[in-house]
Structure 1
Amino acid sequence: DPGLPNYDGSCFKTLNESLFTAKRQAKKNFNNQFSKKDTYDTNYLQMRENQIKILQEMYKCVYKIKSVPHTALDIASIIEKVSLEYHKDNDVKSLLEDLHVIRETMKTVPFPVTREEFEDRANLFILLERLEEFLTIKQEFMKQDDVVVEVINN
């Protein structure tokens, strides 16, 4: 981002500190349960920890991009959509579908002409792969949570 030329990704330090605090509290809560041990908080925080690692990888990809290939606009749009629609109860199915449409569209784009464009598009592709991984982690968590809810209700 030209507006943040010296940004170093330090938000991840704060994020990891918050996660550490939350995990410590979740462990206390788990140990304070008398009967059935509820692991939702622990599982949720594990999902978030995995997602933070993916976000760090995504940041590295974006940081390496030197130009803005036209494929960047599609990827920017899906990232924006994720930022607007991602929430606790979203199973991310439609987001993953949109991501797959973008991937298919990218297959039709002519090959890069310059090395710089090649490297930037490669980083965009990796960014898209990491975004899919980020969303898949959430989708798997939601499926796991659905199973737990189903068992409790039966």
Structure 2
Amino acid sequence: MRIGLRTIKTSVSAAVAMILANALQLLYAPSAGIIAVLSVTNSKKSSLQTGIYRLLSLTLATVLAFICFSLLGYQAIAFGVFLLLFIPLAVSFGLSDGIVVSSVLVTHYLVEGSMHWSLIVNEYLLMIIGVGLALLANLYMPNSENRLKEDQLVIETMFKKLLAEMALYLNQEVTEQKLLENCQGLFAFIREGQLRAQTYQENQWVVRNVYYGSYFAMRRTQISVLNDMIESLDRIELFGIQVEKMVALLEYTSETFAEENDGQELLERIFEVYEEYREMPLPESREEFENRAELFQFLQSFKSFIEIKAEFAQKLPNGNV
């Protein structure tokens, strides 16, 4: 059994919240622990947002509860009417995260049969202690930047392998199904890295490092284009020198594919191949025409694949990635 960091932080914050609530002699002290459990999230930013939204949600719930209990009394019907009003209003105000917690706290008013100011303060203190300790627990977040850099290296390697396999496909050494499976595997890995980059970004309080998020978004766009290129390969018939040129282009791209490569030389090579194919004799049949169109479409996608990286590199301060 593996106990993760979030589990440890949740356990500690819940226990401390209950101890603190008891020390302050608050009613329903265990509720502070439950609130802490529900408020520990994956990032500092989300914990802060959760805390703020839940306090706003409690304010809305308290106002509505006061109206309902004052008009209908402290009974189940009044609580049902409260929920009928509170849930849609909370959703419309973007406070959905606080619906369950605030509703539980409102039941304390129902049980006590009162909404005396001291009881209202009691509920706010329970909420503040719970979300506050969850936020304190989340102030410690392990630096995941090294993991993101490792993800980048893996992605570069997987891209290189996929491009090399595309060259092998033209030599009939790899099947299209294998290419598509590897492409989908790379897409899934990039998507996971993108989620980790988002969490990393949300844990930056002062200066938010958006590089990794932009990097994974760029690679995700590239893999979508590469998937289209693989599907195009199956519809293209290449002969002799055409196969050699395309294989050489794919192999060169695989060999030079790296984080620091801005793609300019690759774009030049793609343009050279494109020009050579354009100067070929005009097609003499419909089949040749369609094949030539597919070939040009493939080269256009290849060009887009590299341009995505080149544009990304130009936006960075040092001009490359």
Q: TM-score range by the shorter chain?
A: 0.7 to 0.9
1:95 to 246, 262, 266: 266
Distance 1:101 1:68 in 2: 17
Percent identical: 26
2:214 to 29, 39, 43: 43
SS, match of residue 89 in structure 1: coil
1:68 to 238, 244, 267: 238
Instruction: Assess if the C-alpha contact under 8 Å between 1:99 and 1:132 holds in 2.
Output: yes
**2:255 counterpart residue number:** 84
1:57 to 217, 221, 228: 228
**1:118 counterpart residue number:** 289
**1:105 counterpart residue number:** 276
**1:31 counterpart residue number:** 202
Larger Rg, first or second structure (1 or 2): 2
Distance 1:71 1:112 in 2: 15
Q: What is the aligned residue count?
A: 148
Instruction: Assess if the C-alpha contact under 8 Å between 1:61 and 1:123 holds in 2.
Output: yes
Give how far 1:64 is off. 1.5
**2:31 counterpart residue number:** none
**2:88 counterpart residue number:** none
Q: Which runs of 5+ in 2 are unaligned?
A: 1-168
Answer 1 or 2: higher relative contact order, Cα 8 Å, separation at least 6.
1
**1:152 counterpart residue number:** none
1:18 to 179, 182, 189: 189
Distance 1:53 1:32 in 2: 29
Give how far 1:147 is off. 6.0
Distance 1:111 1:6 in 2: 29
Distance 1:87 1:148 in 2: 14
1:7 alignment partner AA: Q
Give how far 1:42 is off. 0.5
With over 3 angstroms needed to count, the CA separation of the structure-2 counterparts of 1:6 and 1:48, relative to structure 1, is closer
Please list the CA deviations of residues 5-56 of structure 1 after superposition, one character each: whole Å capped at 9, or x if unmatched. Answer: 5726122321222122111110110011121111000000110011011001
2:210 alignment partner AA: T
Instruction: Assess if the C-alpha contact under 8 Å between 2:262 and 2:309 holds in 1.
Output: yes
Instruction: Assess if the C-alpha contact under 8 Å between 1:75 and 1:124 holds in 2.
Output: no
Distance 2:288 2:216 in 1: 38
2:254 alignment partner AA: S
CA RMSD of aligned residues (A): 2.1
1:68 alignment partner AA: L
Instruction: Assess if the C-alpha contact under 8 Å between 1:93 and 1:139 holds in 2.
Output: yes
Q: Which runs of 5+ in 1 are unaligned?
A: 150-154
Distance 1:72 1:124 in 2: 11
Distance 2:183 2:260 in 1: 24
1:7 to 169, 177, 184: 177
Distance 2:216 2:298 in 1: 23
SS, match of residue 133 in structure 1: helix
- State the TM-score, normalized to the length of structure 1: 0.85
